[in-house]
A and B are shown apart, each in its own frame.
Chain A
Amino acid sequence: MNLHIAAEIAKTHLLAKKKQTMVAMLGVTFGIAMFITMISFMQGVNQFLEDSALDASPHVRMYNEVNTQRPGLIDEVNPGGFNVVYHQKPKDELSRLKNGITIAERIEKEAGVLGVSPQLSTQVFFNNGPIQISGTVAGVDMERENRLYNLSSRLKSGSLRTLQSNPDGLIMGATLARKLNVRVGDKVSVTTPLGTNRILRVVGTFSFGIGTVDNIKSYANLSTVQEMLQKDPGYITDIHIKMVDPLQAIPFGKRLHAIFGYHTEDWATANQAILAGENIRNVMTFVVSFTLLVVAGFGIYNIMNMTVMNKIKDIAILKATGFDGKDIVAIFLLQAVFIGLSGGILGLLIGFGLSYLLSIMPFDAGDVLSLKTFPVIFAAKYYIMGLLFGVTTTILAGFFPSRKASRVDPVSILRG
């Protein structure tokens, strides 16, 4: 087989029918461009949502699940009997983690743990004149919490240090602060579920870029919140844990549950909706791109089949003058590969252009997401994947017509 001659003949064939070549090429171009744009955008969305969710949530959260539904005492004593208890109240059970601080210290020593933050979280009302806005206050050890969530980089105003030195300090979500119309230095009155009131001073505002956090959450010192709830200094309700490798969180959470008996929730469970959305977007991307490529593949298959039909005399001549089956396959497969490669590369360029346009297109997500433009990921691997897809499709589509060409019986053609 002599590739040089095969390439020369392939080139002549392609140039002899420029329009057909272009049509076949554009099919691939369109498929690849779509694939690149879709995957860059979808993965960008995935990444963005995952990042924001992961940033603002612990990898593992340990808490005490307070069960509000319990079997009546009488059912236990007299099972199966005709027992009627109307509107049974839940037990006065504390949602505290017993020895929470000690547990947190123990977990901190485990391998693969990036940070642990024990905290006491409670629902509160923020009073703004006659208006009450509900939210939460998390009592934290700010140094530890900062290690987990990198709060210092998310501060919009004020400082974390002030909180540590000021027992009445409060750091609020930026949107919440705006709703309350308070700034750093302003006082806000906070009502706990127990009905107690306390005046705290805003020492900072933060923004995670996630509506559900920035709208509701605020931080205070652990001891302050314990005082507000009239609890002892060992009282905590949650332990937040960040791992070095997020994937390790799932088995680690299960292990903690087994050791300490408290409920643990990993980020994957907590963010199931996001992960499910991610899967759906991935499937969609591949289904759409695959369909486009299959359509392009059929286009090439048709065009190559037509070419083989049109060139059947040429094939017979080439065979009669000594070209063997492999040469013939090479001649036609090279045409398909050329169509695939050039169409594919053009597709990559157009795909890049479209993704770029998308990535600079202004996108206003309001307060819910901290997005200014569409999230797009530019990764070389998508481009390599796209080109591989394109070339594989064309080779597959070109192979069968080429094989058919190589099996042409020259005698039946040359006989005339």
Chain B
Amino acid sequence: METVLNAARLNKYFYDPEKFQVLKDVTFAVKKGEFLSIIGKSGCGKSTLLYLLSTMDTEYEGTIEMAGTSLTGRSQDYLSHFRNEHLGFVFQFHFLLPEFSALQNVMLPGLKLGRYSEKEVEERAMEKLRLIGMADFARKPASKLSGGQQQRVAIARAMINDPTIIMGDEPTGNLDRANTENVFHIFKELAGMGQTIIAVTHDPDFAAGCDRVIEMSDGMIIRQ
């Protein structure tokens, strides 16, 4: 299987209030179609690592390579475009644009990419919503959806551009048992279709169901 992500010797420091090393020589690779979860005690640096991988945080030492391209030292505009094309995010607090409908939320990254016409993007967005069982709520404003529904719409949005990797920072952290299972099954299904997924989680059951688990402690990988 080809490697889609390569992180080598990642070091990250915070300087506020004092110099403090959050990540220490983190090195790992992810293969295509892998469903990976990152676990560890609170404050061990999981989110920090994920934001480095997401290309949104660019202040680090080491190198990150994704989909065959080196992302270290690239311009913000290049990284924006890369995120748009290759990455999908699901955040802990679902984060949809509240004034837009579920469908529009899913469509926006697709329209930005501009690979398909507006009409095609809409069809694809509907398809993704159907996949996660949210097709009936497509026209509803995001602000009028329940937490679990919003989370599922966010997953559909993460999928709209057929990204290389879907990343989630505790994507089920805010959900009840039933919804957590629901999201997990969606991820599992996607991974089965060859979608690479990296999820930070606190949920041992969630981690247990993954292809691979990376455990961190104090900014280091202690087990994979």
Measured CB to CB, the residues of A under 8 A from B are 2, 4-5, 9, 12-13, 15-16, 313-314, 316-327, 410-411, 414-416
CB pair A12–B112 under 8 Å, yes or no, is: no
Closest-by-CB residue of B relative to A413 is B95
A2-B112, A2-B114, A5-B112 known; A321 vs B83 contact (CB < 8 Å)? yes
CB pair A416–B92 under 8 Å, yes or no, is: yes
CA distance A325 to B47 in the complex (A): 24
CB pair A321–B112 under 8 Å, yes or no, is: yes
Closest-by-CB residue of A relative to B77 is A324
Measured CB to CB, the residues of B under 8 A from A are 47, 51, 54, 56-57, 76-77, 80-85, 87, 89, 91-93, 95-100, 108-109, 111-114, 157, 169
Measured between beta carbons, the chain B residues less than 8 angstroms from A323 are: 80, 84, 112
CB pair B96–A317 under 8 Å, yes or no, is: yes
B159 CB to closest chain A CB (Å) equals 12
State the main secondary structure of chain A at its contact with B: helix
Taking a contact as CB atoms closer than 8 A, the residue among A9, A16, A327, A416 that contacts B93 in the complex is A416
CB pair A414–B81 under 8 Å, yes or no, is: no
CA distance A8 to B90 in the complex (A): 23
B121 CB to closest chain A CB (Å) equals 11
A194 CB to closest chain B CB (Å) equals 92
Measured between beta carbons, the chain B residues less than 8 angstroms from A9 are: 97, 108
> What are the 10 tightest A-B residue pairs by CB atom distance, in nearest-first order?
A322-B84, A324-B80, A321-B109, A16-B99, A322-B83, A324-B77, A411-B51, A411-B57, A411-B56, A5-B111
B71 CB to closest chain A CB (Å) equals 14
CB pair A415–B108 under 8 Å, yes or no, is: no
A18 CB to closest chain B CB (Å) equals 12
Measured between beta carbons, the chain A residues less than 8 angstroms from B100 are: 12
B172 CB to closest chain A CB (Å) equals 14
Closest-by-CB residue of A relative to B105 is A317
Measured between beta carbons, the chain A residues less than 8 angstroms from B47 are: 415
Measured between beta carbons, the chain A residues less than 8 angstroms from B93 are: 416
Measured between beta carbons, the chain B residues less than 8 angstroms from A13 are: 99
Measured between beta carbons, the chain B residues less than 8 angstroms from A316 are: 95
Measured between beta carbons, the chain A residues less than 8 angstroms from B51 are: 411, 414-415
CA distance A147 to B80 in the complex (A): 75
CB pair B92–A317 under 8 Å, yes or no, is: no
CB pair A314–B97 under 8 Å, yes or no, is: yes
Measured between beta carbons, the chain A residues less than 8 angstroms from B157 are: 321
CB pair A317–B97 under 8 Å, yes or no, is: yes
CB pair B112–A327 under 8 Å, yes or no, is: yes
Taking a contact as CB atoms closer than 8 A, the residue among A313, A325, A411 that contacts B95 in the complex is A313
CB pair A2–B76 under 8 Å, yes or no, is: no
CB pair A321–B89 under 8 Å, yes or no, is: yes
A176 CB to closest chain B CB (Å) equals 75
Measured between beta carbons, the chain A residues less than 8 angstroms from B92 are: 416
B167 CB to closest chain A CB (Å) equals 10
Measured between beta carbons, the chain A residues less than 8 angstroms from B98 are: 314
CB pair A325–B77 under 8 Å, yes or no, is: yes
CA distance A278 to B144 in the complex (A): 61
